[in-house]
Structure 1
Amino acid sequence: MELRVFEENIIREFEGYLKGANKVAVFTHMNPDGDAIGSALAFDLAMKNIDIESKVFIANEVPDALKWMQGAESIHVNAKLTDVKEYLEDADIIVCLDFNEPGRVDQLGTILKETKLPIIVIDHHPQVASYKGLLIADTSYSSTAELLYWLLKESNLVVRSMAFAESVYTGIVTDTGSFAYNSSSPKTFKAVADLLEIGFDKDRVTDLVFQQFDANRIRLLGHLLVNRLEVIEGYGAAYTYLTKEDLNRFNYKAGDTEGFVNYPLSIKGVTFTAFFIENDDHVKISFRSKGSFPANEFSSKYYHGGGHLNAAGGRSYEPLYETMEGFEKLVKQFTNEL
């Protein structure tokens, strides 16, 4: 029996928005990861395949590790409000992929707050904001790319091309850490099997995404693990951090720290970890956990963030070292849960 994951009314509503559309704008979050870029490119391909004009906008750059993806060169990077507004003058829909909070798209968030166009949100993160349009959000999916795949499949919009398969797979494989987490559902692997049947080189994608970094990125990782790793002994937690000076020293580029947060979880007895990156006006924080410890609730309660049970993000507006000191104190309050 063919697997179906959406209720018929969701599919009908989604198809209804597309039926009368001639032009769509696709937004994904700033500092995009593989899931953001993969989802955006896959959706873009699906729209163009049914003769709907489509363009992807992001507030900053495509990471170097993802520039190989077919269609990445056509993404409108560092999108200015004037350019986006001009494109939207005769557009029919805005589609938001892999985020639902306006602040995640920096300057483009103003458009989401002010537009009269319907907005379709397709996301695997908990809902934060609501819009006029259609929300398709489900945290049970490994990635937005997987959620999008099933939505397109059940709407008969899957594009049977290598570029489409690579885009969806890149989103899934990056957001699961090569299937190390958020990937225990059979439907995730059924989606991957379908993509392999469409036809693409899985090993090539792995090489391009995970094994083509420059030497400075490897040196930065080494510096992090040797000099910026702290284990909170007896509490099942650890954290890493990078200062602004560290980033400058190793010629940091967007995407260079992707996956760094996971390394402390390989330490015996560690079930919760945080990764702090110092910026000019805030400290960016990533959280990862094992088992039942709710990284998303911890982030939401203390660090203006959210996410999934085992993977979340947040921010602190205190200085870096005060932020880390506060984190250690909080961890020690959760002794029975870690």
Structure 2
Amino acid sequence: MIPVFNPTHIKELKNFLTEPRKIAITTHYKPDGDAIGSLLGLYNFLTSQKHKVKAIVPSDYPEFISFMKGNDKVINYENKPKQAEKYFREAEIIFCLDFNEQSRVEAMQHIMMDNSAIKVVIDHHIEPQIKADYVFSFPQSCATCELIYYFIYALKSDYKMKSDVAECLYTGIMTDTGSFRFSSMTADTHRIVAALMDTGMDHVKIHESVSDTFTEDRIRFLGYCLRDKMQLIHAFHASYISLSLTELDQFNHQTGDTEGIVNYPLNIKGVKMSALFTEKEDGGVKISFRSKGNFSVRDMAKKFFNGGGHHNAAGGRFDGSMDECVEHFISALNYYKAELMDADTLEN
């Protein structure tokens, strides 16, 4: 899908960026591959255009996506709040990438918004709620990195894509499409990937960095989740995995260790939706949802779990115990029973 950016907005931003500016770029709490890929992809591009750019994240992120150029320049708000606040305050323009609500940056939202900087949102989630001067929101896009690719060329049509920028954008598209297998992938996206590869970037290194750098604890943790924790609910063609803080500690859990686990039950024939429940240190339960076919986990997340996301990939939270969360999930499955059993939903 090729997005059509508002030409007036693009012209205004191009004019604003014709001279060196102080820029801050940020993304959501607990960033994933698309978040960091878009953050550093835009960071490397704008830095090459002689702007003074600061990349700021609300929290830490998985080590397996820390290989991209510029990673050593990223400022973690949780570790350096005063420095992050200073750069937001000094910024003339702030780019908010891969999130559609201010709350997605958690404790950082006030310092991100309470300043005079121009705010630009670039995102592929539905219903953007951020108060911004420019909003480029395209839910049809497979990844925010795909939008950043088009945004770069909208700003500079004669730009010659560099391998460091390409590496970042490739990483985001790859991780947000399940290595190019989700239905959100289009022929246009494959053409972008081809153009990125034409820069000479090492796609093998990217795949190895993301997928082949697990610790022994993480591999054993995955085995535990699938053997001992995965529950199948055949009546609803559904599955869930629940993880307590004690279980996470048992396997020396690090940020990113639960990444992708929610997808595994979908490999079972007949399973059309999957949920991962993870106990939070500050109370409550973090939830990840995935589905195949026509069943919308976004709707379930929004209606029952204070969340949202995409049609086949969403997230939410539950303020209560794990047992209460699972019970609430079963009630939600009952609510959607007709859809979960529908022939069209089960066609894949």
TM-score normalized with structure 2 length: 0.92
Alpha carbons 1:44, 1:56 under 8 Å: kept: yes
Q: Which moved more, 1:109-118 or 1:312-321?
A: 109-118
Shift of 1:74: 1.0
One-letter amino acid matched to 1:330: A
1:90 Cα deviation after fit: 3.1
Q: Which amino acid aligns with 1:102?
A: Q
One-letter amino acid of the counterpart of residue 226, structure 1: R
Percent of aligned pairs sharing the same letter:
36
Q: Rate the CA distance shift 1:75–1:337 in 2: closer, same or farther, 3 A.
A: same
* Larger displacement relative to structure 2 (66-75 or 11-20): 11-20
Instruction: Indicate if the aligned counterparts of 1:34 and 1:175 stay in contact, CA closer than 8 A.
Output: yes
Greater mean deviation of Cα atoms: 57-66 or 15-24 = 15-24
Deviations 1:108-158 (A, max 9, x none): 111234222221011111134232311111111110001111111232275
> Which residue type is aligned with residue 5 of structure 2?
F
Deviation at 1:10, TM superposition (A): 4.1
Q: How does 1:1-338 map to 2 (within 5 A)?
A: 5-19=4-18, 22-77=21-76, 78-156=78-156, 158=159, 160-280=161-281, 281-338=283-340
Q: Where in structure 1 do 4 or more consecutive aligned residues deviate above 6 Å?
A: none
Q: CA deviation at 1:20?
A: 5.3
CA distance in 1 between counterparts of 2:132 and 2:335 reads 41
* Residue 91 of structure 1: how far off its partner (Å): 1.8
2:91 aligned counterpart, secondary structure: coil
Unpaired segments ≥5 residues, structure 2:
341-348
Q: 1:85 deviation in Å?
A: 2.6
Cα-to-partner distance string for 1:234-291 (whole Å, 9 max, x where unaligned): 2111111211111100000001111111011111111111111011312100111111
Q: 1:31 to 1:159 in 2, by over 3 A?
A: farther
Q: Distance in 2 between matches of 1:331 and 1:303?
A: 12
**C-alpha deviation, 1:7, in angstroms:** 4.6
Match for residue 343 of structure 2? none
Show CA shifts across 1:10-50 (max 9, x none): 43243244335511011111211111111000110111111
CA distance in 1, matches of 2:104, 2:79: 14
Q: Give secondary structure in 2 for the equivalent of 1:160.
A: coil
Query: Equivalents in 2 of 1:236, 1:47: separation in Å?
Result: 47
1:39-98 per-residue CA deviation (whole Å, 9 max, x = no partner) reads 000110111111111011112223111122221111012354422232234320111111
Amino acid at match of 1:85: E
Distance 1:135 1:240 in 2: 36
Q: Are the equivalent residues in 2 in contact too, given 1:273–1:288 (CA < 8 A)?
A: yes
Cα deviation, residue 209, structure 1: 0.8
Structure 1 partner of 2:344: none
Structure 2 counterpart of 1:334, one-letter code: Y
- Secondary structure of 1:115's match? coil
1:261 aligned partner, one-letter code = V
In 2, the alpha carbon distance for the partners of 1:230 and 1:16 equals 55
Aligned-residue offset at 1:333: 2.2
Q: Which amino acid aligns with 1:133?
A: D
SS at match of 1:151: helix
Describe the SS at the equivalent of 2:69: coil
Letter in 1 for 2:202: D
The alpha-carbon distance between structure 1 residues 159 and 261, as it changes in their structure 2 partners (threshold 3 A), is farther
Q: TM-score, normalised by structure 1?
A: 0.94
Q: Indicate the SS of the match to 2:53.
A: strand
* Conservation of the 8 A alpha-carbon contact between 1:44 and 1:54: yes
Residue by residue, what CA displacement relative to the aligned partner does 1:187-220 show, whole Å, maximum 9, x if unpaired? 1111101101122121111011111111111111
Which residue type is aligned with residue 287 of structure 1? Answer: F
Amino acid at match of 2:166: A
Q: 1:161 to 1:148 in 2, by over 3 A?
A: same
Question: Any conservation in 2 of the 1:45–1:159 contact (CA below 8 Å)?
Answer: no
Q: Paired residues, what number?
A: 336
Q: What amino acid is aligned across from residue 168 of structure 1 in structure 2?
A: L
- Whole-Å separation in 2 of the counterparts to 1:223 and 1:46: 42
Q: 1:304 to 1:128 in 2, by over 3 A?
A: farther
How far apart, in 1, do the equivalents of 2:113 and 2:191 lie?
37
Q: How far apart in 2 are the matches of 1:110 and 1:284?
A: 23
